A and B are shown apart, each in its own frame.
Chain A
């Protein structure tokens, strides 16, 4: 073993010494280790077959059946209107309290409520709830209360209803795309997104950006085009079987086929399509960047993960590359489909139309990727809420609650989680194939053209199913 002799000086001896250092077992033996023992190739192949069969089934079902499916909607009742400022103000207060814990609470990210509530409860669990229950964020977001608060001073009051600038139509969803890129970079590439104080800074910065956008362009315009999470949660909520129609002062709640409301999404402009593709590519990259394949590709030893700081440059390029690759593959699938269908529909319209089918896949990846984190870190979150400022409080009686870490380390639960992940990924692609087919039927009058147009898109979805299952089963660091 090469040894560094003290006093030899220079970088090389130091480097040599570092390289000669032993370390404890890096990537851990369980979790992926147990999945590696499963017949994952069969799962991957089976998932691909299911998606392919879905396409075949869709091609065989008559259009009338699909229309019936679209019309299936059952009213559950109506609820009276409420003052939307109240839940918004409550959320604003909660966020303010969490930011305070970020600055003045425990320094440990698994004991401080801010990172746990933001990354686990809000970004993961709330997204799951949107796919089940519908657009909760539309009622819960803090922006309405923030906007009201900012427009209280007399010199800003007139901006509440008449903002100084009208939102430029050409900007479309691009501000949200830029902000989502920044958000994804902070979450996936930045070295310390869980550091409570740094995260509190980030939240404050995002609030300032949103406040500026809402003041200058009006709240509705900014929430529709610039505020990442209003857009993200809205598109995820289209997967939910629940929806609401406003009738006067009341809202009628209905239940329908899960995912069918995606068909009402309309045609996205280029920025909107980019936003959806970014949502999928960012979560894909998070999984991909931990694989041995990627680490080997970028010249890192996967058993000696060098830490996020050392990979900031590499992973920044990787995130951009995966986004770019997905955009290219998606465009290629649509263009090829257009060629096969010999359609006269503008290609821009088709790109903005079929991107809706990517939404279930983005959610499926979100679900599968974050499920283990949700199961573990939600327990830490519950514990942290009892003593948010590390003062020895026990507000909700969970301060000394034991976190069952074995939920992500023991064989039975690992296998259960893996099976849930597989179901999530495959089901998402099945829904995506079905939605794409429905959209094609609408877009192309000729049923044969509709089927032909979807062959490349189905190939893309089969490939992405296999990619998703491979991401969850291949050796990975951490």
Chain B
């Protein structure tokens, strides 16, 4: 496979190393020892050498492919509609990754031809876009969907068309077995694994008497159920569940329902009312507050110095990828930031007031490199049934995506049965209106018992 290295660096881990390690890990199954060993092996790839651009490693199989024609990738983007903010950063990240891949030899020697179609953040249009990619543009793979309801509207059509389809969401619908063998989430972790990963540390640190405030619909229920289960699994108790109706724009009447012996207040409000929610929460609790933990989804793309957020000082958030560079001070992460134009403070390099969607957008970058690795390892050439089968089986047999330029967020443990990647997660504290990482989980923390095995489905 092609592996990108920092300029001047010897390939710290060769294809053979990687494959051997993956094979060993597969034989062992998932064990702490195996995880740590895999991580240590892969970690070698990200250290040493000089940052100054990337070069194809000596192992680039330029002639690996039987053709030089472009590999067509369909990017299903939320360019308009309510996901347009995410869409802007997904587009920037995707274009940066495609540019890098094309500058460094392409995929198996083939350049990427990127075709962007807007789904309007609309589930039904999502399915139409998948059809256009398959029947009109005749792409090799489709990727990029974020919003869960659009994923759920689109992915079944991809399965019907036998189109390998990579969502860049956090939806547990992929690992839960809702889709087909053609649907993957290889570049980012699912929301369940995120909650499972952070629960233990949060409960040990802040206390086990938990009250949850969440929006009264599916998004909130997933947090209630997954985090609620994790609370119980870690010896905690749920003191109160406070669902907030989606239409609500003032929240003062809900805070008195928080029991006085609550040690940890978990919040995951979304939408335009978030700033008001935080301000009113501050007005209610003042300095006499429980520990507070939330998901950055509430404030993704939002400047932490925004009005109303003063009360968040000292509270904690989950992050998928640290917004501030000092939270993940690796050379791979720095390199990724530079390429996508994200500054050390998580804003756009040419527009310091444009805050990145850091916890989500890295998934586009990593998905593209996962596709690249799998194409090169599987010998995929054309969208024939045979090549697609080889591609899918190769991906399902992949155990690790190793930290490095290709996977700057960290190692990914990929479960072929659930088609889901698992990753480290970050817990950050708001300090001087910045997010400061105070804890990183292990990958093992994010694992849960698999519920489905896609490999049992026919191709």
Contacts and interface: CB of A to CB of B under 8 A. Distances in A.
Query: Are chains A and B native binding partners rather than an unrelated pairing?
Result: yes
Nearest to B178: A17
A22 B221 CA distance: 8
B307 interface: yes
B355 A409 contact: yes
A20 B355 CA distance: 30
Given A6-B452, A110-B79, A304 B218 contact: yes
A: interface residue count bin: 35 or more
B81 interface: yes
B301 A28 contact: yes
A310 interface: yes
B353 A302 contact: no
Contacts of B146: 24
B225 A1 contact: yes
Contact of B307 (A19, A306, A411, A475): A411
B306 interface: yes
Which residue among A4, A23, A34, A109 has the maximum number of chain B CB atoms within 10 Å of its CB? A23
Contacts of B84: 478
A29 B272 contact: yes
A411 B305 CA distance: 10
A23 B124 contact: no
B101 interface: no
Interface stretch (B44-52, B273-281, B283-291, B394-402): B273-281
A303 B123 contact: no
Contacts of B275: 29-30, 33-34, 36-37
A244 B225 CA distance: 69
Contacts of B115: 107
A109 B84 CA distance: 12
Contact of A25 (B117, B298, B353): B298
A307 interface: yes
15 contacts: A1-B226, A21-B148, A21-B152, A24-B146, A24-B148, A33-B271, A108-B77, A194-B80, A292-B249, A303-B219, A404-B354, A405-B348, A406-B353, A409-B85, A475-B271
B138 to A, nearest CB: 13
A101 B170 CA distance: 35
Given A1-B226, A37-B275, A303-B270, A24 B299 contact: no
Contacts of B352: 406
Contacts of B218: 18-23, 304
B261 interface: no
Interface in A432-478: 474-478
B246 interface: yes
Given A22-B148, A36-B276, A108-B116, A477 B221 contact: no
A18 B351 contact: no
A307 B124 contact: yes
Given A3-B176, A409-B355, A194 B125 contact: no
A28 B351 contact: no
Given A22-B191, A26-B271, A405 B351 contact: yes
Contact of A304 (B219, B226, B307): B219
Nearest to A23: B148
A29 B298 CA distance: 7
Contacts of B377: none
Interface in A51-88: none
B121 A17 contact: no
A475 B249 contact: yes
Interface string B131-152: 0000001000000001111101
Interface residues of B, number: 78
Nearest to A302: B246
A311 to B, nearest CB: 9
Contact of B348 (A22, A27, A191, A402): A402
A410 interface: yes
A308 B120 contact: yes
A49 to B, nearest CB: 24
A191 B177 contact: no
B72 interface: no
Nearest to B80: A194
B306 A404 contact: no
B361 to A, nearest CB: 11
Interface of A: 1, 3-4, 6, 17-34, 36-37, 106-111, 191-192, 194-195, 292-293, 296, 301-310, 402-406, 409-411, 413, 474-478
A108 B81 CA distance: 13
Contacts of A4: 176, 178
Interface string B40-75: 000000000000000000000000000000000000
A25 B116 contact: no
A20 B148 CA distance: 10
Contacts of A23: 147-149, 171, 218-219
Given A21-B172, A24-B360, A29-B301, 7 more contacts: A33-B306, A106-B116, A304-B246, A309-B122, A402-B350, A404-B354, A406-B355
B33 interface: no
A27 B152 contact: no
Contact of B82 (A111, A309, A478): A478
B176 A34 contact: no
A21 B121 CA distance: 16
A469 to B, nearest CB: 16
Contacts of B226: 1
Contacts of A404: 350-351, 354
A6 B181 CA distance: 13
B247 interface: yes
A478 B120 CA distance: 11
Interface string B323-345: 00000000000000000000000
Nearest to A7: B177
Contacts of A304: 149, 217-219, 246
A305 B83 CA distance: 10
Nearest to B217: A301
A477 B121 CA distance: 12
Nearest to A108: B116
B86 interface: yes
Which residue among A108, A110, A307, A474 has the maximum number of chain B CB atoms within 10 Å of its CB? A307
A33 B272 contact: yes
Contacts of B350: 402, 404
B271 A410 contact: no
Given A24-B147, A303-B215, A475-B272, A30 B306 contact: yes
B276 A37 contact: yes
Which residue among B247, B271, B351, B355 has the maximum number of chain A CB atoms within 10 Å of its CB? B271
B137 to A, nearest CB: 8
